[in-house]
A = this chain, B = another copy of it.
């Protein structure tokens, strides 16, 4: 990462009050960028007003489906595009809202950006989710797309519209297909953002947490590593072999959920307990089994590599929430 590159850059972060967006805003502000965060602050999403405490960035509350965007986007040099409906169950319950948020709004934003910031680089936050239940592991970018739910369809469509901006109009665009991410500013109130959120909450409340299934493998990515990947992707976005590409982004070496449960208890000083239960029948269609990413393409193209070990990341996460628990319940 090239810290000097960011000084005084005009940056917009959609979903900027969410988990990844807010961490990115803190990092960008620390590098001297001029940051505007946009967030709809959905009750059911990852946004938390406390996420931007102390960041020194401007937060504009608005919904990409209908807000005025032109003046906000004008002059933008880098757009980090993280606004999304990410709830799998939410997509099944209201698929019209889901596609409007994740795809139609993206088309709208694209059209505004064509006029307001035709040269801006774009890093789009995408997801492993639409690969569905992996046909092989680790999953590389050639893995067939086979969305397990409506949310996977809409997220794929939103990504593809951005890639067309590179292919057809030559805008520098990179899409990062993320694995499960965790760390400070994750929604921990419930399991709506990721299962690890509610585990953290239960641990800090001295309650047992639940493991659904247990044998599934996951390669959790610590948020600081993900933030760095976004920054590097933006810096490299105009390079041959990066521009217009999708990249899988993984994290720590894969562990089963049962092993992860042991590791997070260890990171909590050995305090905590969990029970296991079957993956709930009503969620079976969206249970993708094991996943871990083959992210060597992104590592090779950009030099990025994760730096925080799983044990360290879990400890950092628990420590961060220990002091701020009431703000995240």
Query: Which residues does A use to contact B, with CB under 8 Å?
Result: 92, 95-96, 99-100, 103-104, 107-108, 110-111, 142, 144-145, 147-150, 153-154, 156-157, 160-161, 164, 167-168, 285
Contacts and interface: CB of A to CB of B under 8 A. Distances in A.
A108 B99 CA distance: 11
A144 B145 CA distance: 8
The 7 closest A-B CB pairs, nearest first, are A168-B285, A157-B157, A153-B160, A95-B107, A153-B157, A96-B107, A99-B104
Contact of A285 (B95, B99, B157, B167): B167
23 contacts: A92-B168, A95-B161, A96-B104, A96-B108, A96-B111, A99-B103, A99-B104, A99-B157, A103-B103, A103-B157, A104-B104, A142-B144, A147-B164, A150-B161, A150-B164, A153-B160, A153-B164, A154-B157, A156-B156, A156-B157, A157-B157, A167-B285, A168-B285
A144 B147 contact: no
A161 B92 CA distance: 10
Given A96-B107, A147-B160, 13 more contacts: A96-B104, A99-B157, A100-B104, A103-B103, A104-B104, A107-B150, A147-B164, A148-B167, A149-B168, A150-B161, A150-B164, A153-B157, A153-B161
Nearest to A286: B168
Given A144-B144, A150-B164, A153-B164, A99 B95 contact: no
A105 B92 CA distance: 16
Contacts of A100: 104
A164 B149 contact: yes
A255 B96 CA distance: 42
Nearest to A153: B160
Contacts of A103: 99, 103, 153, 157
A285 B163 CA distance: 13
Nearest to A149: B164
Contacts of A108: 96
Contacts of A110: 95
A96 B66 CA distance: 13
Contacts of A161: 95, 150, 153
A96 B161 CA distance: 11
Nearest to A143: B144
A99 B105 CA distance: 11
